[in-house]
Amino acid sequence: MKARLHNRIIAIFIAIFAAALFALPKNASAQTVSGFEFDSYSAVLYNNTNGLPTSEANAIVQSEDGYIFIGSYSGLTFYDGVSFTRFSAQTGITSVVSLFIDKDDRLWIGTNDSGLVLYTNGEYTFYGRDAGLSSLSVRSITQDDSGRIIFATTEGLAYINDDGKAVEIDDPVVSGKYLKLLAKSFDGVIYGCTTDGVCFSLEDLKITSSFDSKKLTYGTANCITPDPETHGRVLIGTTESSVICGDIFNGMSDLRVYSTSPHSNINAICPDKAGAFWVCTDSGVGMLSGLGYYTPYSDLPMNNSVENVMTDYEGNLWFVSSRQGVMKVVG
């Protein structure tokens, strides 16, 4: 009797241990990430063979009325839920590399060679050389807590003042530098990085910290995103297969490094509402969990030059690729 009881206790212990072991997150076995069911998802790739006017896309946003705007080298396209329509080249918008919807639901368009464009109520306002821009290639756009539109160019960081003029921010960290993706934190701090790997923070139009990623051995910084809950904590995607996480105000002294292998050259890291992060890379899409486990998704139809991702109002994911077009993923 005692022997049988003893054996039952051992068996129960082993069962509990095994259940706990297999419940731990693993790199390739997770089927549910941040509430998105990958066992039952469907994905469609839009390109010039099935409705999208082009087979490449650089940026994507959604307005309050549900329209989705897509920026590509061939111009600006919007999707009304049924079909894609490209804006006429006669508008002057022929090459779009960044998009942003401001707090007043106005669309800001960053072009590759025509400066910054504001589109609202069917009208276009161009900000170019006459407005004070030294570079007409606008790589990223955001808005600070004071309502100012701040944008990154191939020659520095600038903002639109109350007089409608572009004013460049004079600081050696950003002046004359080719800037990449800007990202605003929950506490109003704006983060960005240069193509030579220097990451920085901006507060009230002043650079308040910087960090040179080349001091480390994990690749050069290629994108940056703030932690959605912790002031100063950022995630930096590198040109190799690493996400660097730390406090930029303390010189990344609490550094943590997460591998995104087999994916490399990270273009964007986008927070998910459940606490994980979508990772867009030159070789595909993956998910970094809040615990630092990376799950690559190799069976998606988009697997090349993935630039960014957006979640629409219905919870669907929209990825853009500068070589493959637009992918909608429905969970």
**309-326 tens-digit pLDDT:** 999 999 999 999 999 999
Region 188-194 average pLDDT: 98
Bridge partners (DSSP) listed for residue 225: 235
What residue has token string 């960090």?
A: 211
pTM: 0.87
Distance CA 24, CA 21 (A): 6
Region 194-200 average pLDDT: 97
Indicate the range of 85-94, 133-142, 240-249 predicted with least confidence. 85-94
Indicate the range of 30-39, 184-193, 265-274, 308-317 predicted with least confidence. 30-39
Is the pLDDT higher at 74 or at 31?
74
The yes-or-no verdict on residue 110 having pLDDT over 70 is yes
Q: What is the DSSP string of 85-110?
A: EEPPGGGS---EEEEEE-TTS-EEEE
Question: Tell me, what's the pLDDT at 243?
Answer: 97
The yes-or-no verdict on residue 21 having pLDDT over 50 is no
What's the number of CA atoms in the CB half-sphere (13 Å) around residue 317? 33
**Exposed e or buried b per residue across 10-19, where buried means at least 16 C-beta atoms within 10 angstroms of its C-beta:** eeeeeeeeee
Q: Residue 183 is which amino acid?
A: A
Q: Indicate the pLDDT class of residue 37, thresholds 50, 70 and 90.
A: low
pLDDT tens, position by position, 265-302: 999 999 987 889 999 999 999 999 988 999 999 889 99
Region 13-30 average pLDDT: 34
Asked if residue 262 lies in contact with residue 279, where contact means CB atoms within 8 angstroms, the answer is no
Asked if residue 263 lies in contact with residue 283, where contact means CB atoms within 8 angstroms, the answer is yes
The yes-or-no verdict on residue 246 having pLDDT over 90 is yes
